[in-house]
Amino acid sequence: MKVTVDVDCTPAEARSFLGLPDVTPIHDRYIKTVLDSFDGIGSVEQMETLFKSFSPLGDAGVRMFQQMMNIGLAGVGNSTGDKKKG
């Protein structure tokens, strides 16, 4: 037996229903801080340093994101659409 339930609600309604906090004010402040920091950026190195400081896990988060992107790009580059017989 398979039962499917579709719920049509906004993200705010879903958060409220699930008892999750509304983090919109925190998110808005974070975005404002990031955008305000871009005003003084003059080089790529400064931008990289800025992103590292704002990422949730610092350097580790940036490296993890780079590894995920490399894995994804390697998968796209190696796919030829041909299936091996075996």
Structural domains of the chain, count: 2
- Residue 36 domain-assigned? yes
Domain that holds residue 30: 8-40
Nearest one of 28, 45, 26, 25 to 36, comparing CA atoms? 28
Whether 35 and 55 map to the same domain: the answer is: no
Let me know the angle formed at the C-alpha of 56 by 74 and 67, rounded to the nearest 5 degrees: 15
Whether 35 and 52 map to the same domain: the answer is: no
- Residue 86 domain-assigned? no
pLDDT in tens, 54-69: 666 667 777 777 887 7
Whether 29 and 46 map to the same domain: the answer is: no
Whether 74 and 47 map to the same domain: the answer is: yes
In the predicted structure, residue 9 carries a pLDDT above the cut 70: yes
Whether 21 and 34 map to the same domain: the answer is: yes
pLDDT in tens, 13-49: 988 888 988 888 988 998 888 778 777 777 777 777 7
Does the global pTM surpass 0.85? no
